Amino acid sequence: MTTLNHPTGQAGCISQYDPQALPVSAAQAIVLQWAAPLAASERVPLRGALARVLAEDVISPIDVPAYDNAAMDGYAFDGAALADASGGLSLAVCGKAFAGHAYSGDVAAGACVRIMTGAPMPAGCDTVVPQEHVSAQGDVIAFDANAVKRGANARRKGEDLARGGVALAAGRVLRASDIGLLASLGLVEAHVKQRLRVAYFSTGDELRSPGEPLEPGCIYDSNRYALGAMLQRLNVEAIDLGVVRDDPAALAATLKLAAETADVVLTSGGVSVGEADFTRTQLQTLGDVSFWGLAMRPGRPLAFGRIWSGGRPGAGRAALLFGLPGNPVATMVSFYQIVRPALMAMAGAQAQPVPLVPALSDQPIKKRAGRTEFQRGLARRDASGQWRVAPTGSQSSGALSTMSEANCFIVLAHEAGDLDAGDAVDIMLFDGVV
Ligand code: AMP
Ligand code: MG
């Protein structure tokens, strides 16, 4: 049994795990222990509130709807008349009600009001018969009393949201419907958490930035761009610190700057075996950092801990550090599976498990028991409604093309071994509607 080099220097409840074969679920749990939500909040106009995280519950200041109103175009009447009617019902039209223009007169027994969707229900009326069920002759309408039930086609005051009730809970990541809902309450701004600041950089002497000439033995730095894009999707404040050469002094300087300016620091490259010694020395000088070998593919090496801007543990500002592997797909998988839940928690968001969809594999899949694999897959629903999935090709941790081609991860559970065609797997779809 190995004791983890925990970020506080203490052994946590996770000390039963071997840090060189840490299950994904254990790594996720450890990381979440360190992902304390930011305290700072601010008020932002509704138009700028999309994807921001609510800092407190929103209490509805009004009833929504604010008054009983028609849900359809038709005729409003007292539904008590339905009980007495056997078969047909005839009513005299005594007035009109439009959205924004109420009918304020009385509605006598045997009378009704022509009403449009959204118009306030006249006093004494609780039911709307839709206009398509009605035959009109002059000012009298007739309809089959069985065509409508008492109370139908009317929306009740407060039925959507009651005044004083929680309209949206703290930790909500605001979606389009939430922005509309806040507007429907008459609110002009939202009280949200401040955006998390995430600094990121790439490491490696071989890296050139797009736009630069590519000398022999060099590659373009794709991780910084993919990381920037993934962070943009999370709506955090992303701080691009560029490419850092494989030089201890440059690495230390950039890490200190990152800890000074950000809540979280993401690096890519330099954590795999062979490179780790050099990075390890730097990270362990600046802070408490553990080097893990995750039981995950792609994305085995990962450094996790805290670094301090003052150059040693406890000096200056602390930031959480994730040292991600350099291979581009490993970087992305590590980000989605390990970093993203932590960033969401630090941003103050309520935990939202990513849905897994059951599917059948179109092909046999090679899988080693004892690690979780996230293969790139292309999923579709067949004519019978069953999800089916096939890997997109090369599962090399460097092959971004098969990641781009994919529309899901095929999640192969820790304990699973080789799969046959037709076997059940779980998939994690990349895109949803909202
Ligand atoms: P490392 O973890 O630094 O040993 O990198 C592992 C592999 O990922 C090597 O082939 C690197 O060239 C490659 N790599 C590292 N950083 C990047 C990057 N920013 N963009 C693309 N490939 C990278
Ligand atoms: Mg490297």
Q: Strands 197-203, 264-268: parallel, antiparallel or unpaired by DSSP?
A: parallel
| Strand duo 387-391 + 372-381: pairing | antiparallel
| Residue 89, burial from CB neighbour count under 10 angstroms (0-12, 13-18, 19+) | buried
Q: Is the pTM of this model over 0.85?
A: yes
Q: Provide the pLDDT confidence category of residue 325 given band limits of 50, 70 and 90.
A: very high
Is the pLDDT at 1 greater than 50? The verdict is no
| Ligand 1 near 325 CB (within 6 A) | yes
Ligand in nearest proximity to the CA of 272: 1
Residue 177 has pLDDT above 50, yes or no: yes
18 or 359: whose pLDDT is higher? Answer: 359
3-state secondary structure of 318: strand
Partner residues linked to 63 by β-bridges: none
Query: How far, in Å, CA of 428 to CA of 123, rounded?
Result: 52
| Predicted confidence (pLDDT) per residue in 107-133, tens digit | 999 999 999 999 999 999 999 999 999
Chain-centroid distance, C-alpha 244:
31
Closest C-alpha residue for ligand 1 atom 23: 326
Residue 59, pLDDT above cutoff 50: yes
Q: How much is the average pLDDT of 310-324?
A: 96
CA separation, residue 337 to residues 109, 190, 343 (Å): 65, 30, 11
Residue 246 CB–ligand 1 contact under 6 Å: no
207 pocket-lining for ligand 1 (C-beta < 6 Å): yes
Q: Contacts for 106-113 with beta carbons within 8 Å, 24 or more apart?
A: 107/76, 107/77, 107/78, 109/78, 109/81, 110/81, 111/77, 112/75, 112/76, 112/77, 112/141, 113/75, 113/76, 113/77
Any ligand 1 atom below 6 A from CB of 206: yes
Inter-residue contact 216 to 174 (CB < 8 Å):
no
- Across the range 201-221, mean pLDDT stands at 97
* pLDDT given for residue 18 in this prediction: 85
Percent of the chain with pLDDT over 90: 91
Tell me: pLDDT of 71 over 90: yes
Q: For the chain, which domains are there?
A: 2-40+194-346 (3.40.980.10), 41-64+159-193 (3.90.105.10), 69-155 (2.170.190.11), 357-429 (2.40.340.10)
Q: What is the pLDDT of residue 9?
A: 45
Q: Is 397 in the pocket of ligand 1 (CB under 6 A)?
A: no
Amino acid at 86: S
The percent helix, strand, coil of the chain (3-state, each to 5) is 20, 35, 45
Q: For a substitution probing ligand 1, which of 277, 283, 327 has the most ligand atoms within 8 Å of its CB?
A: 327
Residues 120 and 218: their CA atoms lie apart, in Å, by 70
- Ligand 1 contact via 331 beta carbon (within 6 Å): no
Which residue's CA lies nearest to atom 16 of ligand 1?
326
Looking at the CA of 243, name the nearest ligand. 1
CA distance 322 to 330: 13
Helix, strand, or coil (residue 393): coil
Nearest CA to ligand 1 atom 11: 326
* Predicted local confidence at residue 11, as pLDDT: 43
Cα separation, 146 vs 383, whole angstroms? 39
For 86-110, the pLDDT digits (tens) are: 889 999 999 999 999 999 999 999 9
Q: Which atom of ligand 1 is nearest to the CA of 243?
A: 19
- pLDDT tens figures, 241-292: 999 999 999 999 999 999 999 999 999 999 988 777 788 889 989 999 999 9
Q: What would the mean pLDDT of 81-86 be, rounded to a whole number?
A: 88
Residue 383 has pLDDT above 70, yes or no: yes
Q: What is the mean pLDDT of residues 205-217?
A: 96
Question: What's the one-letter identity of residue 194?
Answer: Q
Exposure string over 27-56, b if 16+ CB within 10 A, otherwise e: beebbbebbebbeebeebebeebebbbbbe
Instruction: Say which residues have a Cβ less than 8 Å from residue 238's Cβ, sequence separation at least 6.
Output: 198, 200, 227, 228, 231, 232
327 lines ligand 1 (CB under 6 A): yes
52: CA distance to ligand 2 center in Å? 35
Digit-coded pLDDT (tens) for 338-363: 999 999 999 999 998 899 999 999 99
Integer Cα distance of 310 and 318 in angstroms: 9
CB 167 within 8 A of CB 59: yes
| Averaged confidence pLDDT in the chain | 94
